Chains A and B, each alone.
Chain A
Amino acid sequence: MIDRTIFPAPTRGLDLKQTLGLPQSMVVRSGDLLFLSGVLAVHPGTGERMHGTLTSETHQCLQNLSMILGRAGSSLEKVVRVHAMMYSRIEYDVFNSVYRQYFTPAQAPARTVWSVGILYGLKVQLDVIATV
């Protein structure tokens, strides 16, 4: 028996397999853990890439993340670990100023921040594990 299920994206725009042709499931669950594909700043309705400032992209990512988790029976409060990827470490403080609006310090998930190259020239990507 295999304890593994796929959760669909909550909206058409967040289904990156459909909109961008990425060969991946948005959410895979095993046991109490949800493994998410990298969350990007795309429009949840249309899938349009929402290139913007690090601030606007981070807001969009976290709002998308919240919707994706909700569809899978989870929420931001149940996030276990975030790999926060951004295009430049220089914007670390900017990222935090947005991030702290979504996670209260005492309950914030484990987090690592990386400066990396991200698909489509986007500035932020969130790689998340959450509980159900």
Chain B
Amino acid sequence: MTQRTAFASPIAALNAAHPGQVPRSPAMRAGNLLYLSSMTSIDPQTGEFRPGSVTEQTRTALTNIAAQLQSAGTEPAHAAKVTVHLASILDYEEMNVVYGDFFTGDSLPARTVCAVQMAGGIKVSIECVAVVPSA
């Protein structure tokens, strides 16, 4: 039987115990795959949305994803699939520069990019599925 295990966020404000938090797990593991809830430009200290350019928002979101992956026993190099949602498809190039600095090498994750409507000044929202190494 496949185990299903929820993981907390290293960002305290994103965890269920925090007032106002939405009913979602920051990360959920099933078998050797770890599914992350989508991540935006959240200040890891305060848990508040950090507005900024596409560059800044992408960098913050990816940094948070790295911390989430590490706290759940894996790392960005093991990402299998990344889905990037942009508020505008015109922001693709700007997002891509930061993305390309973050994911490097020959073993890149698969990726899909699309533009959707997002609330509250969010310009980038990133979702990730990663493989968890076995002992």
User: Which residues of A come within 8 Å of B, CB atoms?
Assistant: 1-4, 6, 17, 22-28, 30-31, 33, 35-38, 83, 85, 114, 116-119, 125, 127
Most buried by A among B92, B107, B113, B129: B113
The listed residue (A4, A117, A127) touching B88 by CB distance below 8 A is A117
Give min CB distance, A95 to chain B, whole Å: 15
Is B86 at the interface (CB under 8 A from chain A)? yes
State whether B89 touches A3 (Cβ < 8 A): no
State whether A114 touches B116 (Cβ < 8 A): yes
**How many pairs, one residue from A and one from B, have CB atoms within 8 Å of each other in the complex?**
86
CA distance A31 to B33 in the complex (A): 9
Q: Which residues of B contact A117 (CB under 8 A)?
A: 86, 88-89, 114-116
Q: Which residues of B contact A22 (CB under 8 A)?
A: 96, 111
State whether B89 touches A119 (Cβ < 8 A): yes
The listed residue (A31, A83, A85, A118) touching B32 by CB distance below 8 A is A31
B interface SS class: mixed
User: Which residues of B come within 8 Å of A, CB atoms?
Assistant: 31-33, 78, 80-83, 86, 88-89, 92, 96, 99-100, 103-104, 106-116, 129, 131, 133-135
State whether A125 touches B114 (Cβ < 8 A): yes
Give min CB distance, A120 to chain B, whole Å: 9
The listed residue (B33, B78, B88, B114) touching A38 by CB distance below 8 A is B114
State whether B110 touches A27 (Cβ < 8 A): yes
Q: Which residues of A contact B106 (CB under 8 A)?
A: 6
State whether A114 touches B31 (Cβ < 8 A): no
Q: Which residues of B contact A114 (CB under 8 A)?
A: 114, 116
Write the chain B residue with the least CB distance to A38: B112
CA distance A28 to B106 in the complex (A): 12
State whether A116 touches B115 (Cβ < 8 A): yes
Give min CB distance, A129 to chain B, whole Å: 8
Q: Which residues of B contact A28 (CB under 8 A)?
A: 80-81, 109-110
CA distance A1 to B132 in the complex (A): 9
Q: Which residues of A contact B111 (CB under 8 A)?
A: 22-24, 37-38
CA distance A26 to B110 in the complex (A): 6
Give min CB distance, A79 to chain B, whole Å: 14
Other A-B contacts than A1-B133, A25-B108, 14 sampled, CB-CB below 8 A, are: A1-B134, A2-B131, A4-B131, A6-B107, A23-B96, A23-B99, A28-B80, A30-B32, A31-B33, A35-B81, A35-B110, A117-B89, A125-B112, A125-B114
The listed residue (A24, A31, A119) touching B109 by CB distance below 8 A is A24
